Structure 1
Amino acid sequence: MTDTSETQPPDSPVQETLPGLLRRVMRFIPLVAPVLLWSVPCWVLFHAGQHWSTPVTLTGTVLCGLALITMPFAMMRGHGRRQQDRAAIVGDTLLGVGWVVFTWSVVLGVLLRLALAVGGVGTGQDRARAVTWAILGVAAVLLVWGYAEARRVPRVRHLEVRLPRLGAGLDGTRVALITDTHYGPLDRARWSARVCERVNSLEADLVCHTGDIADGTAGRRRPQAAPLGTVRASRARVYVTGNHEYYSEAQGWVDLMDELGWEPLRNRHLLLERGGDTLVVAGVDDVTAESSGLAGHGAHLAGALQGADPELPVLLLAHQPTFVDRAAAGGVDLQLSGHTHGGQIWPFHYLVRLDQPALAGLSRHGARTLLYTSRGTGFWGPPFRVFAPSEITLLVLRSPQRSG
C-alpha cells in the first residue's frame, strides 16, 4: 500500500471552525475578487515605478479595466438564468487569466523586486520593468501550459491499496475512478469519448464516477455525456451525485446515467463477489443534496449500508472528501471522492484545503478508514490546470491474505 498521511480527527476544533469561517469569507468574494484580480496586476505592471510612456500605461490600464467589467458580466450571463455558453467561456477564461496574473503579480512583484534591490541590480525603474516582463512571461507560459493540461486526456494514476478486511478472493480487484468531468460551455464530446476509451483500456472490474458530471442540465449536456455509455467494466459501473448536479436538475442526471447503463448508488449498495469473498460497494448523494429541496435526495450513510453485513469490507463513493468523518464513524474501509480538483490553479490549493480534509491522494482517517481524493478528470470553469494535473485513477485492491 502507498504511504498515507494522517489528518485531523473529526472532532478537531480547527476542522469545525474553518469551514464556517471560509463560508462567511466567501460571501464577499463575488464583490471583492474581480477588483483585486485586475487592480493589483494593473498597479504592479503599469504604475509601480516603471514610468512607461503614456500610451503604454493608458492601454494597459484600459485593458485591465475592461477585464474587470467584462468578467463578472460575462459570468452572470453565462452561469445565471440566461446560460449563454459563449458568455460563460469568456467569463471563465478571464477568471483564470486574472487569477494567474494576480498570483504572479503578488509573488514576483514582491520577491523578485526585493531580490533585485538587495542585489543592487539596475535602477528603480529598471527593476520595476524587469518585474513587469517577468510577470507577463511567467503568466503567459503557465496559461499556455495550463490550457494544454486542462484539455488533454488525463494520464492514468496507478495505485495499490491494501485493505485489511478484504478477502483473498478479491485481491487484485481493479477499480477505475473518474470524477468531475464537468462537461460544460466548451464542447468536449471528442475529449469525453477519448477518456472513455482510456478507461476501457484499463480492463477494470468496477468503474466509478463520483459526481460533477457537467455544468448544465442533462438535456443540454447529453451529447458530451453520451460517451459514458461506452464505458466497460467486468462487474459494475456505479455513480453518485456531486454538488454541481444539484445546480442543474440532479434527478435528470441520475436518470441519464441510469439510461447509459450506470448504476446510481443513491444511498444504497451492491455486492461485488469473487473467489468466495464479498465487497460492499456503497454510495451516497452529495452532502449538498440535503439542502437542495429535491424530494428523496440527501446523504445518508446508514441507508447506503442498510442490510449489509457489518463484517464485510466497504468501498464508499462520496463526492466530497469532507464526508469522510461520517464514513470513518460508520466503519467504511475506503472512500473514493473528487470535488477538490487538486486546487486546479495554484495557489487555490490552499483555499480548498481550508474546506476539505484532503486535497489529493490517499490519506488515513481514524483507525480503519482510507480516503482517496482524485484531482478530477476534467476542469471546472477556467480552462486551465496549473500544478494540479487531471487524472484517471486505477486502484488495485490488495488483501493481506493474498498468496505470495
Structure 2
Amino acid sequence: MTDTSDTRPDEAEAEAHAARPGRLLHRLMRFLPLIAPVLLWAVPCWVLLYGGQHWPPPVTLAGTALFVLGLVGMPLAMARGHGRRQQDGAAVIGDTLLGASWILFTWSVLIAVLVRPALALAGAGESQDRARIVTWAVLAVTAALLVWGYTEARRVPRVRRLDVELPRLGAGLDGLRVALITDTHYGPLDRARWSARVCETVNTLDADLVCHTGDIADGTAERRRAQAAPLGTVRARRARVYVTGNHEYYSEAQGWVELMDELGWEPLRNRHLLLERGGDTLVVAGVDDVTAGSSGLPGHRAHLAGALEGADPELPVLLLAHQPKFVDRAAAAGVDLQLSGHTHGGQIWPFHHLVGLDQPALAGLSHHGARTRLYTSRGTGFWGPPFRVFAPSEITLLVLRSPRPSTPA
C-alpha cells in the first residue's frame, strides 16, 4: 500500500522527537506546586544541618523537626488561608512561612556556593569549621533580611518623583501632576491605619490626577471595605481614576468596581475621559486587566479600541493598564504613556528574574515603539509574604512635560 500522507516517516519521527522536550517541560510544570515547597525547605535543611557541620544529635534532630514542620505547615496554612475557608490567620502564617523560606533558600544557596569555596581557597580552618561558618552566615543574613524586609513592606512608601516628557503634550498641560498608587493588596494583615497614612501622603502631592492601577486587595470588597475606605479621602484637582487588576478577578471584581465608584473614584472600564487645561486636552483612558476576559464576568475584558472610541487621534493619550505587558497593544495604538503596576519590582529578590519572564518591564520608565512610554510602579503595598527585599514600595508622582522649544544655534 502506498503512503499518501504529506509527512515522511523520518520527518514525522523527527517532529515527534522535537516535541518531546516541550511535553516534558509541560509535565514538569504540573508538579511545580509539589516540588517547590520541598526544595524551599530541603535545600536550607541540608546546607545548615547536613553539609559537613557534624552538629550534636539533639541539634540536628531539633533542626530537622523545624524544617519538616515548615514543609508541612506552610502548604496547609496557605490552603486554609487562601482556599475555600479563607481564614485570615492561617493566610498570615502561610504567607509569612513562604516569604521566610524563599529568603532562607536563596541565601543558603548563594552563601554555600560562593562563601564556602572562598573559605576553602583561603585555607580558613577545617572543613567542619567552614561548614559552620556557612551555617551562621546564612542564619545571620536571613534574620537581618527578614527584619529589614518586614519593615520595608509595612512602612508607608516613599514618594518617587520624576518628569516625563511627552512629545504630543500641549504647553497648556505642561507640569500636570499625576499621582500613581497601585497594588495596595489589602489582605489578611489588617492595614487600615497604613491605608489612611498612604492616602494622607498622596494628598500632600497636590496632584491634578490620581490613579490606582489595580490589585486593590486580596479578598472581596465586602471583606476588605474597612482597609479600602481611606481611599475615599484621596484628593485630586481634576479626577481620581481606577482600573482593575488581576487580583480583583479572584475576588468578585464587580464588587470592587462598585466600591471604588462609591468612594468617589471613576472606574475607567474600557473608556476614557478628557482632561483640559490651558487650552490643551489629554485623553485619560483605562482598560480592564488582561485576565478579565477569562473571568466569566459579563462585560469584563481588556478592550483598548473601546477605551479610545470617540477620542481625537491627534490628542495625547495617558492609559491605565494593570499589567506592563499590555504595552505592546498600547504602542500599536499610538498611546503616549501607559501607567502600570503588577510586578512589585520582584518584591523579594531575586524573584524579579521570574517576573521578567512574563513582563517586558520590571520597574521605572521604559520606551516602547516610536512614541510610547511605559511607567511601571513597584507597587504601594505587598502581596502575600509581608516582606520586601531590594524592591522598595512606592507612591509615584509623575510630572508631565511638553517638549521644550529648541534653542537657536
Q: TM-score range by the shorter chain?
A: over 0.9
In structure 2, the residue matched to 1:169 is 172
State which of 110, 126, 138 in structure 1 corresponds to 2:141: 138
| Secondary structure in structure 2 of the residue aligned to 1:269 | strand
Matched, 1:352 2:355: yes
Pairwise CA RMSD: 1.5
Matched, 1:394 2:400: no
For 2:27 and 2:162, the matched residues in 1 are separated by: 37
Q: Which amino acid in the other structure matches residue 86 of structure 2? A: Q
In structure 2, the residue matched to 1:338 is 341
State which of 53, 74, 79 in structure 2 corresponds to 1:76: 79
Q: Which amino acid in the other structure matches residue 276 of structure 1? A: G
For 1:281 and 1:152, the matched residues in 2 are separated by: 30
| Secondary structure in structure 2 of the residue aligned to 1:114 | helix
CA contact (8 A) 1:235 1:272 kept: yes
Residues 21 and 342 of structure 1: is their aligned pair in 2 closer, same or farther, counting only changes over 3 Å? farther
Q: Deviations over 1:119-175 (max 9, x none)?
A: 111100000000000000000000000000000000000010000000000000000
Matched, 1:38 2:41: yes
- 1:25 Cα deviation (Å)? 6.6
- 1:336 Cα deviation (Å)? 0.2
| Secondary structure in structure 1 of the residue aligned to 2:52 | coil
CA contact (8 A) 1:362 1:370 kept: yes
In structure 1, the residue matched to 2:197 is 194
In structure 2, the residue matched to 1:17 is none
| Secondary structure in structure 1 of the residue aligned to 2:159 | strand
Residues 350 and 31 of structure 1: is their aligned pair in 2 closer, same or farther, counting only changes over 3 Å? same
In structure 2, the residue matched to 1:124 is 127
In structure 2, the residue matched to 1:216 is 219
Residues 21 and 154 of structure 1: is their aligned pair in 2 closer, same or farther, counting only changes over 3 Å? farther
Matched, 1:306 2:315: no
Matched, 1:244 2:247: yes
- 1:31 Cα deviation (Å)? 1.1
For 1:21 and 1:212, the matched residues in 2 are separated by: 34
CA contact (8 A) 1:361 1:373 kept: yes
TM-score normalised by structure 1 residue count: 0.93
Alignment map for 1:361-380 (pairs within 5 Å): 361-380=364-383
For 2:335 and 2:279, the matched residues in 1 are separated by: 21
In structure 1, the residue matched to 2:88 is 85
- State, as a whole percentage, how many aligned pairs show the same letter: 83
Q: Which amino acid in the other structure matches residue 44 of structure 2? A: P
| Secondary structure in structure 1 of the residue aligned to 2:261 | helix
| Secondary structure in structure 2 of the residue aligned to 1:59 | helix
Instruction: Structure 2: state its 5+ residue gaps.
Output: 1-22
| Secondary structure in structure 2 of the residue aligned to 1:331 | coil
In structure 1, the residue matched to 2:107 is 104
For 1:402 and 1:26, the matched residues in 2 are separated by: 54
Alignment map for 1:36-75 (pairs within 5 Å): 36-75=39-78
- 1:362 Cα deviation (Å)? 0.3
| Secondary structure in structure 2 of the residue aligned to 1:354 | coil
In structure 2, the residue matched to 1:278 is 281
Q: Which amino acid in the other structure matches residue 67 of structure 1? A: G
- 1:24 Cα deviation (Å)? 7.8
Q: Which amino acid in the other structure matches residue 276 of structure 2? A: E
CA contact (8 A) 1:22 1:355 kept: no
CA contact (8 A) 1:182 1:215 kept: yes
Residues 159 and 36 of structure 1: is their aligned pair in 2 closer, same or farther, counting only changes over 3 Å? same
- 1:295 Cα deviation (Å)? 0.4
| Secondary structure in structure 2 of the residue aligned to 1:174 | strand
Q: Which amino acid in the other structure matches residue 225 of structure 2? A: R
For 1:261 and 1:403, the matched residues in 2 are separated by: 42
| Secondary structure in structure 1 of the residue aligned to 2:44 | helix
Q: Displaced runs of 4+ in structure 1, greater than 6 A?
A: 20-25
For 1:118 and 1:62, the matched residues in 2 are separated by: 33
Alignment map for 1:16-31 (pairs within 5 Å): 27-31=30-34
Q: Which amino acid in the other structure matches residue 35 of structure 1? A: V
Q: Deviations over 1:48-68 (max 9, x none)?
A: 100000011011100000000
CA contact (8 A) 1:272 1:280 kept: yes
Q: Deviations over 1:99-136 (max 9, x none)?
A: 00000000001100010011111100000000000000
- 1:23 Cα deviation (Å)? 8.7
- 1:402 Cα deviation (Å)? 6.8
Matched, 1:385 2:388: yes
Residues 173 and 26 of structure 1: is their aligned pair in 2 closer, same or farther, counting only changes over 3 Å? farther
- 1:32 Cα deviation (Å)? 1.1
For 1:215 and 1:23, the matched residues in 2 are separated by: 29
Residues 333 and 147 of structure 1: is their aligned pair in 2 closer, same or farther, counting only changes over 3 Å? same
Instruction: Structure 1: state its 5+ residue gaps.
Output: 1-19
Residues 229 and 135 of structure 1: is their aligned pair in 2 closer, same or farther, counting only changes over 3 Å? same
TM-score normalised by structure 2 residue count: 0.92
Q: Deviations over 1:178-222 (max 9, x none)?
A: 000000000000000000000000000000000000000000000
State which of 306, 321, 324 in structure 2 corresponds to 1:321: 324
Q: How many residues align structurally?
A: 385
| Secondary structure in structure 2 of the residue aligned to 1:355 | coil
In structure 1, the residue matched to 2:13 is none
- 1:29 Cα deviation (Å)? 2.7
For 1:222 and 1:188, the matched residues in 2 are separated by: 11
Greater radius of gyration (CA): 2
For 1:376 and 1:334, the matched residues in 2 are separated by: 18
Q: Which amino acid in the other structure matches residue 299 of structure 1? A: A
| Secondary structure in structure 2 of the residue aligned to 1:140 | helix
| Secondary structure in structure 2 of the residue aligned to 1:157 | strand
| Secondary structure in structure 1 of the residue aligned to 2:356 | helix
Q: Which amino acid in the other structure matches residue 303 of structure 1? A: G
Alignment map for 1:149-164 (pairs within 5 Å): 149-164=152-167
For 2:122 and 2:404, the matched residues in 1 are separated by: 62
- 1:27 Cα deviation (Å)? 4.0
| Secondary structure in structure 2 of the residue aligned to 1:279 | strand
